[in-house]
Protein backbone atom coordinates (compact mmCIF):
# COMPACT_ATOMS: atom_id res chain seq x y z
CA UNK A 1 0.00 0.00 0.00
CA UNK A 2 2.85 2.40 0.80
CA UNK A 3 4.31 1.82 -2.68
CA UNK A 4 1.00 2.60 -4.32
CA UNK A 5 0.61 5.79 -2.29
CA UNK A 6 4.11 6.93 -3.26
CA UNK A 7 3.38 6.37 -6.92
CA UNK A 8 0.07 8.17 -6.74
CA UNK A 9 1.71 11.10 -5.02
CA UNK A 10 4.41 11.14 -7.68
CA UNK A 11 1.75 11.07 -10.37
CA UNK A 12 -0.08 13.94 -8.73
CA UNK A 13 3.08 15.96 -9.06
CA UNK A 14 3.11 15.12 -12.78
CA UNK A 15 -0.52 15.78 -13.55
CA UNK A 16 -3.28 17.32 -11.52
CA UNK A 17 -6.63 15.69 -11.78
CA UNK A 18 -9.44 17.52 -13.48
CA UNK A 19 -9.85 20.25 -10.95
CA UNK A 20 -8.94 23.41 -12.66
CA UNK A 21 -5.35 24.56 -12.16
CA UNK A 22 -3.07 24.64 -15.18
CA UNK A 23 -0.09 22.34 -15.18
CA UNK A 24 3.32 22.12 -16.81
CA UNK A 25 4.09 19.38 -19.31
CA UNK A 26 4.70 15.83 -18.18
CA UNK A 27 8.33 14.90 -17.39
CA UNK A 28 10.64 14.57 -20.37
CA UNK A 29 11.43 10.93 -19.60
CA UNK A 30 7.86 9.80 -18.79
CA UNK A 31 5.09 8.82 -21.19
CA UNK A 32 1.68 9.41 -19.58
CA UNK A 33 -1.37 8.14 -21.44
CA UNK A 34 -5.03 8.17 -20.46
CA UNK A 35 -7.14 5.14 -21.25
CA UNK A 36 -10.10 3.21 -19.91
CA UNK A 37 -8.25 0.31 -18.26
CA UNK A 38 -11.20 -1.19 -16.39
CA UNK A 39 -10.90 -4.41 -18.42
CA UNK A 40 -7.67 -5.45 -16.68
CA UNK A 41 -8.20 -8.70 -14.75
CA UNK A 42 -4.70 -10.14 -14.52
CA UNK A 43 -1.13 -9.52 -15.66
CA UNK A 44 -0.28 -13.20 -16.09
CA UNK A 45 0.34 -13.88 -19.82
CA UNK A 46 -1.08 -17.38 -19.33
CA UNK A 47 -4.44 -15.78 -18.53
CA UNK A 48 -4.43 -12.38 -20.25
CA UNK A 49 -7.26 -12.17 -22.80
CA UNK A 50 -8.32 -8.54 -22.55
CA UNK A 51 -7.35 -5.74 -24.89
CA UNK A 52 -5.61 -3.43 -22.42
CA UNK A 53 -3.58 -6.17 -20.76
CA UNK A 54 -2.69 -7.68 -24.12
CA UNK A 55 -1.12 -4.35 -24.98
CA UNK A 56 0.71 -4.16 -21.65
CA UNK A 57 2.24 -7.64 -21.75
CA UNK A 58 3.39 -6.99 -25.34
CA UNK A 59 5.71 -4.40 -23.79
CA UNK A 60 6.76 -6.51 -20.79
CA UNK A 61 7.49 -9.87 -22.43
CA UNK A 62 9.34 -11.05 -25.47
CA UNK A 63 7.62 -13.89 -27.29
CA UNK A 64 9.05 -16.86 -29.12
CA UNK A 65 8.14 -15.22 -32.45
CA UNK A 66 7.26 -11.51 -32.79
CA UNK A 67 6.24 -8.61 -34.92
CA UNK A 68 8.59 -5.78 -34.06
CA UNK A 69 7.43 -2.10 -34.01
CA UNK A 70 9.89 -1.28 -36.80
CA UNK A 71 8.16 -3.78 -39.14
CA UNK A 72 4.62 -4.91 -38.36
CA UNK A 73 4.29 -6.88 -41.61
CA UNK A 74 6.91 -9.58 -41.16
CA UNK A 75 7.02 -12.23 -38.45
CA UNK A 76 10.52 -12.58 -36.99
CA UNK A 77 12.21 -14.36 -34.15
CA UNK A 78 11.79 -12.87 -30.72
CA UNK A 79 13.37 -15.06 -28.08
CA UNK A 80 13.96 -17.47 -30.96
CA UNK A 81 16.95 -16.43 -33.06
CA UNK A 82 16.03 -18.95 -35.75
CA UNK A 83 13.96 -22.10 -36.27
CA UNK A 84 13.92 -25.29 -38.30
CA UNK A 85 10.82 -27.21 -39.44
CA UNK A 86 10.97 -30.98 -39.87
CA UNK A 87 10.13 -32.52 -43.25
CA UNK A 88 6.73 -33.74 -42.03
CA UNK A 89 5.93 -30.28 -40.61
CA UNK A 90 5.18 -31.72 -37.18
CA UNK A 91 8.30 -30.64 -35.29
CA UNK A 92 9.81 -27.17 -35.02
CA UNK A 93 13.16 -26.62 -33.31
CA UNK A 94 13.92 -23.09 -32.11
CA UNK A 95 17.43 -21.77 -31.45
CA UNK A 96 17.26 -19.43 -28.48
CA UNK A 97 18.81 -15.99 -28.94
CA UNK A 98 22.09 -15.92 -26.98
CA UNK A 99 22.87 -13.41 -24.27
CA UNK A 100 19.28 -12.48 -23.42
CA UNK A 101 18.41 -11.78 -19.79
CA UNK A 102 15.18 -11.39 -17.86
CA UNK A 103 14.50 -8.27 -15.82
CA UNK A 104 15.71 -10.23 -12.79
CA UNK A 105 19.12 -10.75 -14.36
CA UNK A 106 18.50 -14.46 -14.90
CA UNK A 107 19.54 -15.72 -18.35
CA UNK A 108 16.83 -16.61 -20.88
CA UNK A 109 17.25 -20.34 -21.48
CA UNK A 110 15.54 -22.94 -23.63
CA UNK A 111 14.19 -24.37 -20.37
CA UNK A 112 12.37 -21.08 -19.68
CA UNK A 113 10.85 -21.05 -23.16
CA UNK A 114 9.60 -24.63 -22.92
CA UNK A 115 8.32 -24.16 -19.37
CA UNK A 116 6.41 -21.02 -20.34
CA UNK A 117 4.36 -22.99 -22.89
CA UNK A 118 4.00 -25.97 -20.55
CA UNK A 119 2.72 -23.63 -17.85
CA UNK A 120 0.01 -22.20 -20.13
CA UNK A 121 -1.23 -25.69 -20.94
CA UNK A 122 -1.19 -26.89 -17.32
CA UNK A 123 -2.94 -23.80 -15.96
CA UNK A 124 -5.51 -24.06 -18.79
CA UNK A 125 -6.85 -20.53 -18.50
CA UNK A 126 -9.03 -18.97 -21.21
CA UNK A 127 -6.36 -18.26 -23.88
CA UNK A 128 -4.73 -21.71 -23.51
CA UNK A 129 -6.75 -22.97 -26.50
CA UNK A 130 -4.43 -20.99 -28.79
CA UNK A 131 -1.76 -23.64 -28.22
CA UNK A 132 -3.70 -26.63 -26.85
CA UNK A 133 -5.21 -26.91 -30.34
CA UNK A 134 -1.84 -28.40 -31.33
CA UNK A 135 -2.69 -31.52 -29.35
CA UNK A 136 -0.98 -30.48 -26.13
CA UNK A 137 -2.48 -31.53 -22.82
CA UNK A 138 -1.36 -31.33 -19.23
CA UNK A 139 -0.44 -35.01 -19.48
CA UNK A 140 1.65 -34.89 -22.68
CA UNK A 141 2.98 -31.32 -22.94
CA UNK A 142 6.26 -32.05 -21.13
CA UNK A 143 7.17 -34.59 -23.81
CA UNK A 144 5.89 -32.55 -26.78
CA UNK A 145 7.32 -29.18 -25.68
CA UNK A 146 10.84 -29.51 -24.32
CA UNK A 147 14.32 -28.08 -24.12
CA UNK A 148 16.77 -30.06 -26.24
CA UNK A 149 19.67 -28.29 -24.56
CA UNK A 150 20.21 -24.86 -22.99
CA UNK A 151 19.97 -23.09 -26.37
CA UNK A 152 17.43 -25.17 -28.31
CA UNK A 153 13.73 -25.72 -27.65
CA UNK A 154 11.53 -28.09 -29.60
CA UNK A 155 7.78 -28.37 -30.10
CA UNK A 156 5.92 -31.27 -31.66
CA UNK A 157 2.32 -30.99 -32.81
CA UNK A 158 0.05 -34.02 -33.00
CA UNK A 159 -2.52 -32.52 -35.36
CA UNK A 160 -2.27 -31.50 -39.02
CA UNK A 161 -1.51 -27.79 -39.01
CA UNK A 162 0.18 -25.49 -41.43
CA UNK A 163 3.66 -24.74 -39.93
CA UNK A 164 3.10 -21.08 -40.80
CA UNK A 165 0.01 -21.06 -38.59
CA UNK A 166 1.95 -22.63 -35.71
CA UNK A 167 4.69 -20.01 -36.02
CA UNK A 168 2.09 -17.23 -36.01
CA UNK A 169 0.59 -18.72 -32.84
CA UNK A 170 4.03 -18.47 -31.26
CA UNK A 171 3.65 -14.69 -31.51
CA UNK A 172 0.47 -14.67 -29.38
CA UNK A 173 0.41 -13.49 -25.77
CA UNK A 174 0.42 -17.06 -24.45
CA UNK A 175 3.83 -17.51 -26.12
CA UNK A 176 5.33 -14.86 -23.83
CA UNK A 177 8.51 -16.21 -22.26
CA UNK A 178 8.50 -15.94 -18.47
CA UNK A 179 11.35 -16.25 -15.99
CA UNK A 180 10.91 -19.76 -14.59
CA UNK A 181 13.33 -19.34 -11.67
CA UNK A 182 11.70 -16.10 -10.51
CA UNK A 183 8.11 -17.28 -10.93
CA UNK A 184 8.68 -20.66 -9.28
CA UNK A 185 10.31 -18.92 -6.32
CA UNK A 186 6.80 -17.54 -5.64
CA UNK A 187 4.92 -20.80 -6.21
CA UNK A 188 2.23 -21.67 -3.67
CA UNK A 189 0.59 -25.08 -3.38
CA UNK A 190 1.62 -26.12 -6.87
CA UNK A 191 0.06 -23.06 -8.62
CA UNK A 192 3.12 -22.50 -10.88
CA UNK A 193 3.37 -18.95 -9.52
CA UNK A 194 -0.13 -18.09 -10.74
CA UNK A 195 -1.19 -16.07 -7.70
CA UNK A 196 2.01 -14.01 -7.75
CA UNK A 197 2.14 -13.37 -11.50
CA UNK A 198 -1.39 -11.97 -11.54
CA UNK A 199 0.01 -8.69 -10.23
CA UNK A 200 3.73 -8.92 -11.01
CA UNK A 201 5.91 -9.46 -14.06
CA UNK A 202 8.76 -11.77 -15.00
CA UNK A 203 9.69 -10.90 -18.54
CA UNK A 204 12.61 -9.86 -20.69
CA UNK A 205 10.85 -7.13 -22.69
CA UNK A 206 11.34 -3.40 -22.99
CA UNK A 207 9.51 -2.65 -19.73
CA UNK A 208 8.75 -4.26 -16.38
CA UNK A 209 5.62 -3.88 -14.29
CA UNK A 210 6.14 -1.45 -11.42
CA UNK A 211 2.56 -1.01 -10.21
CA UNK A 212 -0.97 -2.01 -11.07
CA UNK A 213 -3.87 -0.65 -9.05
CA UNK A 214 -7.22 -1.72 -10.46
CA UNK A 215 -9.23 1.07 -12.11
CA UNK A 216 -6.53 3.56 -11.25
CA UNK A 217 -3.02 3.18 -12.64
CA UNK A 218 -0.47 0.95 -14.34
CA UNK A 219 3.19 1.96 -14.16
CA UNK A 220 5.94 0.42 -16.28
CA UNK A 221 9.66 0.96 -15.80
CA UNK A 222 12.13 0.79 -18.69
CA UNK A 223 14.48 -2.17 -19.09
CA UNK A 224 17.75 -0.32 -19.75
CA UNK A 225 19.42 -3.58 -20.79
CA UNK A 226 16.82 -4.50 -23.40
CA UNK A 227 18.20 -6.37 -26.44
CA UNK A 228 17.18 -3.52 -28.77
CA UNK A 229 18.65 -0.91 -26.45
CA UNK A 230 17.07 1.14 -23.69
CA UNK A 231 13.54 2.44 -24.45
CA UNK A 232 13.12 6.14 -25.17
CA UNK A 233 11.07 6.64 -21.99
CA UNK A 234 12.25 5.75 -18.50
CA UNK A 235 8.65 5.21 -17.38
CA UNK A 236 5.22 4.65 -18.92
CA UNK A 237 2.10 5.50 -16.92
CA UNK A 238 -1.35 4.35 -17.96
CA UNK A 239 -3.96 6.38 -16.11
CA UNK A 240 -7.48 5.07 -15.83
CA UNK A 241 -9.66 7.89 -17.12
CA UNK A 242 -13.00 6.42 -18.12
CA UNK A 243 -14.64 9.62 -19.38
CA UNK A 244 -13.50 10.70 -22.85
CA UNK A 245 -14.29 14.34 -21.97
CA UNK A 246 -11.87 14.12 -19.02
CA UNK A 247 -9.21 12.63 -21.27
CA UNK A 248 -9.59 15.54 -23.68
CA UNK A 249 -9.31 18.14 -20.92
CA UNK A 250 -6.20 16.51 -19.47
CA UNK A 251 -4.59 16.36 -22.90
CA UNK A 252 -5.30 19.98 -23.76
CA UNK A 253 -3.91 21.11 -20.41
CA UNK A 254 -0.73 19.09 -20.98
CA UNK A 255 -1.34 16.85 -17.96
CA UNK A 256 -1.10 13.75 -20.16
CA UNK A 257 0.76 12.99 -23.38
CA UNK A 258 -1.90 10.91 -25.08
CA UNK A 259 -5.67 10.28 -24.98
CA UNK A 260 -6.80 6.87 -26.27
CA UNK A 261 -10.61 6.97 -25.98
CA UNK A 262 -11.85 10.24 -27.46
CA UNK A 263 -15.19 10.23 -29.26
CA UNK A 264 -15.44 11.45 -32.87
CA UNK A 265 -17.01 14.73 -31.67
CA UNK A 266 -14.14 15.30 -29.25
CA UNK A 267 -11.58 14.52 -31.93
CA UNK A 268 -13.25 17.06 -34.21
CA UNK A 269 -13.27 19.64 -31.43
CA UNK A 270 -9.61 19.19 -30.58
CA UNK A 271 -8.26 19.40 -34.13
CA UNK A 272 -7.86 23.18 -33.87
CA UNK A 273 -5.39 22.83 -30.99
CA UNK A 274 -1.92 23.52 -32.39
CA UNK A 275 -0.30 21.52 -29.57
CA UNK A 276 -2.21 18.33 -30.38
CA UNK A 277 -1.98 15.83 -33.25
CA UNK A 278 -4.51 13.16 -34.24
CA UNK A 279 -3.23 9.82 -35.57
CA UNK A 280 -5.32 7.09 -37.15
CA UNK A 281 -4.39 3.46 -36.55
CA UNK A 282 -6.42 0.87 -38.54
CA UNK A 283 -7.11 -2.00 -36.16
CA UNK A 284 -8.20 -5.58 -36.48
CA UNK A 285 -10.80 -5.10 -33.75
CA UNK A 286 -14.29 -6.26 -34.75
CA UNK A 287 -17.50 -5.02 -33.10
CA UNK A 288 -20.24 -7.62 -33.09
CA UNK A 289 -23.43 -8.81 -31.42
CA UNK A 290 -23.85 -12.43 -30.47
CA UNK A 291 -26.96 -14.35 -29.50
CA UNK A 292 -26.97 -17.12 -26.93
CA UNK A 293 -27.91 -20.26 -28.85
CA UNK A 294 -29.33 -21.76 -25.67
CA UNK A 295 -32.05 -19.09 -25.58
CA UNK A 296 -35.42 -20.49 -26.72
CA UNK A 297 -35.93 -17.65 -29.21
CA UNK A 298 -32.42 -16.41 -30.01
CA UNK A 299 -31.34 -19.96 -30.82
CA UNK A 300 -33.45 -19.79 -34.00
CA UNK A 301 -31.42 -18.86 -37.07
CA UNK A 302 -34.32 -16.88 -38.57
CA UNK A 303 -34.30 -14.60 -35.54
CA UNK A 304 -30.56 -13.87 -35.78
CA UNK A 305 -30.93 -13.29 -39.52
CA UNK A 306 -33.77 -10.86 -38.81
CA UNK A 307 -31.49 -8.94 -36.44
CA UNK A 308 -28.87 -8.66 -39.20
CA UNK A 309 -31.51 -6.99 -41.35
CA UNK A 310 -32.72 -4.67 -38.56
CA UNK A 311 -29.36 -3.04 -37.75
CA UNK A 312 -28.80 0.31 -39.46
CA UNK A 313 -25.05 -0.02 -39.94
CA UNK A 314 -24.57 3.00 -42.19
CA UNK A 315 -26.43 5.38 -39.91
CA UNK A 316 -24.12 4.60 -37.00
CA UNK A 317 -20.94 4.58 -39.09
CA UNK A 318 -21.80 7.97 -40.60
CA UNK A 319 -22.81 9.66 -37.35
CA UNK A 320 -21.44 9.03 -33.86
CA UNK A 321 -18.89 6.44 -35.06
CA UNK A 322 -17.55 8.53 -37.94
CA UNK A 323 -13.80 8.30 -38.35
CA UNK A 324 -13.37 5.54 -35.74
CA UNK A 325 -15.40 2.63 -37.07
CA UNK A 326 -16.31 1.44 -40.56
CA UNK A 327 -18.97 -1.07 -41.59
CA UNK A 328 -17.51 -4.57 -41.74
CA UNK A 329 -19.53 -7.81 -41.74
CA UNK A 330 -17.13 -10.75 -41.71
CA UNK A 331 -15.17 -12.26 -38.83
CA UNK A 332 -11.68 -11.60 -40.26
CA UNK A 333 -10.66 -7.92 -40.39
CA UNK A 334 -10.43 -6.04 -43.68
CA UNK A 335 -6.90 -5.31 -44.86
CA UNK A 336 -5.49 -8.62 -43.62
CA UNK A 337 -4.74 -11.61 -45.85
CA UNK A 338 -7.83 -13.76 -46.39
CA UNK A 339 -10.48 -11.19 -45.47
CA UNK A 340 -13.95 -11.18 -47.04
CA UNK A 341 -14.86 -7.53 -47.46
CA UNK A 342 -18.37 -7.84 -48.93
CA UNK A 343 -21.19 -5.98 -47.14
CA UNK A 344 -24.35 -8.06 -47.68
CA UNK A 345 -26.60 -6.34 -45.11
CA UNK A 346 -28.33 -2.99 -44.89
CA UNK A 347 -31.38 -2.19 -42.81
CA UNK A 348 -34.44 -3.92 -44.31
CA UNK A 349 -37.27 -3.86 -41.78
CA UNK A 350 -39.74 -5.63 -44.05
CA UNK A 351 -37.35 -8.53 -44.60
CA UNK A 352 -36.67 -8.73 -40.88
CA UNK A 353 -40.37 -8.83 -40.01
CA UNK A 354 -40.89 -11.61 -42.54
CA UNK A 355 -38.14 -13.67 -40.94
CA UNK A 356 -39.51 -13.08 -37.44
CA UNK A 357 -42.96 -14.17 -38.57
CA UNK A 358 -41.50 -17.33 -40.10
CA UNK A 359 -39.84 -18.05 -36.75
CA UNK A 360 -43.19 -17.64 -34.96
CA UNK A 361 -42.46 -14.22 -33.45
CA UNK A 362 -44.41 -11.80 -35.61
CA UNK A 363 -45.39 -9.88 -32.48
CA UNK A 364 -41.78 -9.59 -31.34
CA UNK A 365 -40.26 -10.49 -28.00
CA UNK A 366 -38.08 -9.07 -25.20
CA UNK A 367 -34.37 -9.54 -24.62
CA UNK A 368 -31.40 -8.05 -22.76
CA UNK A 369 -28.27 -6.64 -24.38
CA UNK A 370 -25.17 -6.80 -22.20
CA UNK A 371 -22.32 -4.52 -23.25
CA UNK A 372 -19.33 -2.57 -21.99
CA UNK A 373 -19.55 0.70 -20.07
CA UNK A 374 -16.98 2.56 -22.15
CA UNK A 375 -17.76 4.48 -25.33
CA UNK A 376 -18.87 3.70 -27.99
CA UNK A 377 -20.58 0.55 -26.74
CA UNK A 378 -23.45 2.18 -24.80
CA UNK A 379 -24.10 4.45 -27.80
CA UNK A 380 -24.09 1.49 -30.21
CA UNK A 381 -26.40 -0.43 -27.87
CA UNK A 382 -28.87 2.45 -27.79
CA UNK A 383 -28.88 2.69 -31.59
CA UNK A 384 -29.37 -1.08 -31.89
CA UNK A 385 -32.16 -0.88 -29.32
CA UNK A 386 -34.00 1.58 -31.58
CA UNK A 387 -33.26 -0.58 -34.64
CA UNK A 388 -34.62 -3.77 -33.05
CA UNK A 389 -37.75 -1.96 -31.91
CA UNK A 390 -38.71 -1.50 -35.58
CA UNK A 391 -39.11 -5.28 -35.74
CA UNK A 392 -41.07 -5.47 -32.50
CA UNK A 393 -38.10 -6.59 -30.41
CA UNK A 394 -37.84 -4.84 -27.04
CA UNK A 395 -34.21 -4.68 -25.95
CA UNK A 396 -33.14 -3.81 -22.41
CA UNK A 397 -29.55 -2.57 -22.06
CA UNK A 398 -27.19 -3.52 -19.21
CA UNK A 399 -23.69 -2.01 -19.20
CA UNK A 400 -20.87 -3.68 -17.28
CA UNK A 401 -17.13 -3.22 -16.89
CA UNK A 402 -15.08 -5.77 -18.79
CA UNK A 403 -13.94 -7.55 -15.63
CA UNK A 404 -17.62 -8.34 -14.94
CA UNK A 405 -18.89 -8.75 -18.50
CA UNK A 406 -16.29 -11.22 -19.76
CA UNK A 407 -16.80 -13.84 -16.98
CA UNK A 408 -20.56 -13.56 -17.54
CA UNK A 409 -20.10 -14.11 -21.26
CA UNK A 410 -17.77 -17.06 -20.73
CA UNK A 411 -20.40 -18.66 -18.48
CA UNK A 412 -23.12 -18.28 -21.18
CA UNK A 413 -25.11 -16.01 -18.85
CA UNK A 414 -26.46 -13.65 -21.51
CA UNK A 415 -29.15 -13.10 -24.11
CA UNK A 416 -27.26 -10.77 -26.45
CA UNK A 417 -23.65 -9.67 -26.06
CA UNK A 418 -22.48 -6.49 -27.79
CA UNK A 419 -18.71 -6.65 -27.66
CA UNK A 420 -15.42 -6.52 -29.54
CA UNK A 421 -12.87 -9.07 -30.69
CA UNK A 422 -9.31 -8.77 -31.91
CA UNK A 423 -7.18 -11.58 -33.39
CA UNK A 424 -4.74 -13.30 -31.09
CA UNK A 425 -2.23 -13.68 -33.93
CA UNK A 426 -2.10 -12.64 -37.59
CA UNK A 427 -3.58 -15.68 -39.30
CA UNK A 428 -7.25 -16.11 -40.32
CA UNK A 429 -7.41 -19.23 -38.20
CA UNK A 430 -7.14 -17.04 -35.10
CA UNK A 431 -10.64 -15.66 -35.65
CA UNK A 432 -12.00 -18.71 -37.50
CA UNK A 433 -11.19 -20.81 -34.46
CA UNK A 434 -13.16 -18.39 -32.29
CA UNK A 435 -16.18 -17.62 -34.47
CA UNK A 436 -16.58 -20.73 -36.62
CA UNK A 437 -15.07 -23.75 -34.84
CA UNK A 438 -16.69 -25.35 -31.82
CA UNK A 439 -15.71 -29.02 -31.55
CA UNK A 440 -17.47 -29.63 -28.22
CA UNK A 441 -20.60 -27.65 -27.38
CA UNK A 442 -21.19 -29.28 -24.00
CA UNK A 443 -21.30 -26.88 -21.07
CA UNK A 444 -18.71 -28.96 -19.25
CA UNK A 445 -16.27 -28.56 -22.14
CA UNK A 446 -15.68 -24.95 -21.00
CA UNK A 447 -14.10 -23.79 -24.26
CA UNK A 448 -14.30 -20.26 -22.93
CA UNK A 449 -11.88 -18.78 -25.45
CA UNK A 450 -14.14 -19.87 -28.31
CA UNK A 451 -16.89 -17.37 -29.15
CA UNK A 452 -19.01 -20.03 -30.86
CA UNK A 453 -18.92 -22.07 -27.64
CA UNK A 454 -19.75 -19.03 -25.48
CA UNK A 455 -22.88 -18.63 -27.59
CA UNK A 456 -23.77 -22.34 -27.44
CA UNK A 457 -23.53 -22.74 -31.20
CA UNK A 458 -21.88 -25.54 -33.14
CA UNK A 459 -22.25 -26.44 -36.81
CA UNK A 460 -20.81 -29.50 -38.52
CA UNK A 461 -20.23 -27.76 -41.87
CA UNK A 462 -18.54 -24.80 -40.25
CA UNK A 463 -16.36 -27.03 -38.06
CA UNK A 464 -15.31 -29.12 -41.06
CA UNK A 465 -14.36 -26.14 -43.22
CA UNK A 466 -12.47 -24.45 -40.37
CA UNK A 467 -10.33 -27.57 -39.90
CA UNK A 468 -9.74 -27.94 -43.66
CA UNK A 469 -8.54 -24.33 -43.94
CA UNK A 470 -6.40 -24.73 -40.84
CA UNK A 471 -4.58 -27.75 -42.30
CA UNK A 472 -4.28 -26.62 -45.94
CA UNK A 473 -0.68 -26.01 -47.07
CA UNK A 474 -1.52 -24.42 -50.43
CA UNK A 475 -1.94 -20.69 -49.66
CA UNK A 476 -4.34 -19.99 -52.54
CA UNK A 477 -6.61 -22.88 -51.57
CA UNK A 478 -6.38 -21.88 -47.93
CA UNK A 479 -7.41 -18.30 -48.71
CA UNK A 480 -10.44 -19.46 -50.70
CA UNK A 481 -11.51 -21.73 -47.85
CA UNK A 482 -11.39 -18.84 -45.38
CA UNK A 483 -13.36 -16.64 -47.77
CA UNK A 484 -15.99 -19.39 -48.03
CA UNK A 485 -16.08 -19.80 -44.26
CA UNK A 486 -16.62 -16.09 -43.71
CA UNK A 487 -19.44 -16.09 -46.26
CA UNK A 488 -21.03 -19.04 -44.46
CA UNK A 489 -20.92 -17.21 -41.11
CA UNK A 490 -22.55 -14.14 -42.66
CA UNK A 491 -25.65 -16.27 -43.27
CA UNK A 492 -25.68 -18.60 -40.27
CA UNK A 493 -24.49 -18.75 -36.69
CA UNK A 494 -25.14 -16.47 -33.70
CA UNK A 495 -23.18 -13.39 -34.83
CA UNK A 496 -24.22 -10.01 -36.18
CA UNK A 497 -20.85 -8.55 -37.21
CA UNK A 498 -21.10 -4.81 -37.64
CA UNK A 499 -17.91 -2.72 -37.57
CA UNK A 500 -14.14 -2.61 -37.67
CA UNK A 501 -12.16 -0.11 -35.65
CA UNK A 502 -9.94 2.71 -36.84
CA UNK A 503 -8.35 3.87 -33.61
CA UNK A 504 -7.93 7.64 -33.36
CA UNK A 505 -5.21 8.59 -30.93
CA UNK A 506 -4.76 12.18 -29.76
CA UNK A 507 -1.26 13.12 -28.59
CA UNK A 508 0.80 16.12 -27.66
CA UNK A 509 2.84 17.04 -30.75
CA UNK A 510 6.13 16.76 -28.93
CA UNK A 511 5.56 13.03 -28.42
CA UNK A 512 6.56 10.74 -31.29
CA UNK A 513 7.27 7.06 -31.89
CA UNK A 514 4.06 5.47 -30.58
CA UNK A 515 3.31 2.34 -32.64
CA UNK A 516 -0.09 0.67 -32.83
CA UNK A 517 -0.56 -2.24 -35.22
CA UNK A 518 -3.62 -4.15 -36.38
CA UNK A 519 -3.83 -6.34 -33.30
CA UNK A 520 -4.56 -5.29 -29.74
CA UNK A 521 -1.17 -6.68 -28.71
CA UNK A 522 0.83 -4.98 -31.44
CA UNK A 523 1.04 -1.74 -29.47
CA UNK A 524 4.57 -0.70 -28.58
CA UNK A 525 5.97 1.98 -26.27
CA UNK A 526 9.73 1.42 -26.57
CA UNK A 527 10.31 3.85 -29.47
CA UNK A 528 8.37 6.71 -27.84
CA UNK A 529 10.41 9.90 -27.38
CA UNK A 530 9.70 13.57 -26.75
CA UNK A 531 11.05 16.42 -28.84
pLDDT (tens digit per residue) in 112-122 = 999 999 999 99
The verdict on 323 and 462 lying in the same domain is: yes
Residue 502 has pLDDT above 70, yes or no: yes
Strand partners, 92: 85, 155
- Give the span between the Cα atoms of 243 and 234, in whole angstroms: 27
The average pLDDT across 303-331 equals 97
The reported pTM is: 0.84
The verdict on 488 and 531 lying in the same domain is: no
Q: What CATH number does residue 221 fall under?
A: 3.40.190.10
The average pLDDT across 89-107 equals 97
- Give the span between the Cα atoms of 444 and 202, in whole angstroms: 33
The verdict on 76 and 152 lying in the same domain is: yes
Question: Which is higher by pLDDT, 471 or 416?
Answer: 416
Helix axes 428-435, 460-471, angle to 10 degrees: 160
pLDDT digits (tens, 9 = 90+) for 33-88: 999 999 999 999 999 999 999 999 999 999 999 999 999 989 999 999 999 999 99
242, part of any domain: yes
The verdict on 316 and 449 lying in the same domain is: yes
Lowest-pLDDT range of 2-11, 282-291, 339-348, 395-404: 2-11
Residue 1 has pLDDT above 90, yes or no: no
The average pLDDT across 435-452 equals 96
50, part of any domain: yes
Domain hosting residue 523, numbered range: 1-60+205-275+509-531
Give the pLDDT confidence score for residue 24 in this predicted structure.
58
Residues of the chain above pLDDT 70, percent: 95
pLDDT digits (tens, 9 = 90+) for 393-404: 999 999 999 989
Question: Which is higher by pLDDT, 21 or 291?
Answer: 291
The verdict on 351 and 254 lying in the same domain is: no
How does residue 473 score in pLDDT terms, banded at 50, 70 and 90? Answer: confident
Which one, of 116, 110, 234, 106, lies nearest residue 181 by Cα?
106
200, part of any domain: no
The verdict on 395 and 475 lying in the same domain is: yes
Which positions ≥6 away from 354 have C-beta within 8 Å?
Answer: none
The verdict on 309 and 378 lying in the same domain is: yes
236, part of any domain: yes
Give the pLDDT confidence score for residue 25 in this predicted structure.
86
Which positions ≥6 away from 509 have C-beta within 8 Å?
Answer: 274, 275, 276, 277
- Give the span between the Cα atoms of 28 and 467, in whole angstroms: 51
The average pLDDT across 343-363 equals 98
- Among 167, 195, 223, the domain-final residue is 195
376, part of any domain: yes
- Give the span between the Cα atoms of 450 and 440, in whole angstroms: 10
292, part of any domain: yes
The verdict on 373 and 297 lying in the same domain is: yes
Pairing outcome for strands 529-530 and 511-512: antiparallel
The verdict on 526 and 480 lying in the same domain is: no
Residues of the chain above pLDDT 90, percent: 90
Buried b vs exposed e over 338-366: b needs ≥16 C-beta within 10 Å? bbbeeeebebeeebbbebbeebebeebbe
pLDDT digits (tens, 9 = 90+) for 204-218: 999 999 999 999 999
pLDDT digits (tens, 9 = 90+) for 7-18: 444 444 444 333
Domain count, the chain: 3
Give the pLDDT confidence score for residue 257 in this predicted structure.
98
The verdict on 464 and 513 lying in the same domain is: no
The average pLDDT across 239-266 equals 96
The verdict on 191 and 227 lying in the same domain is: no
Q: What CATH number does residue 330 fall under?
A: 3.10.105.10
Give the pLDDT confidence score for residue 160 in this predicted structure.
85
The verdict on 143 and 291 lying in the same domain is: no
516, part of any domain: yes
Lowest-pLDDT range of 62-66, 280-284, 454-458: 280-284
321, part of any domain: yes
Buried b vs exposed e over 446-482: b needs ≥16 C-beta within 10 Å? ebbbbbbbbbbbbbeebbebbbbbbebeeeeebbebb
Amino acid sequence: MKTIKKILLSLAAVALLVSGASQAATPKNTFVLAKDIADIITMDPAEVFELTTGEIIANIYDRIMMFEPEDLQNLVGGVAESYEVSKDGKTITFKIRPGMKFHSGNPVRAEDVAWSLQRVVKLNKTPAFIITQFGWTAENVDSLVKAVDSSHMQITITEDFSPGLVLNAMSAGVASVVDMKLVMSHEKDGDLGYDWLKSNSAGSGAFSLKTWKANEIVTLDANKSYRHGAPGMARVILRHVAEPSSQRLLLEKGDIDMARNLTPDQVKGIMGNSDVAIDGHPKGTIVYMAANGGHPILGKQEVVQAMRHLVDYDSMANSFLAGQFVVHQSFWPAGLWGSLETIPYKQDVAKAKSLLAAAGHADGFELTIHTLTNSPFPEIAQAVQANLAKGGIKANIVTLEGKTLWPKYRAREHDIILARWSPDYVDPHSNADAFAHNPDNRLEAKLTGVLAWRNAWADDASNKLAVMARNELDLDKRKQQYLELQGMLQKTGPFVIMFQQNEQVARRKNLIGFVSGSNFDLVFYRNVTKR
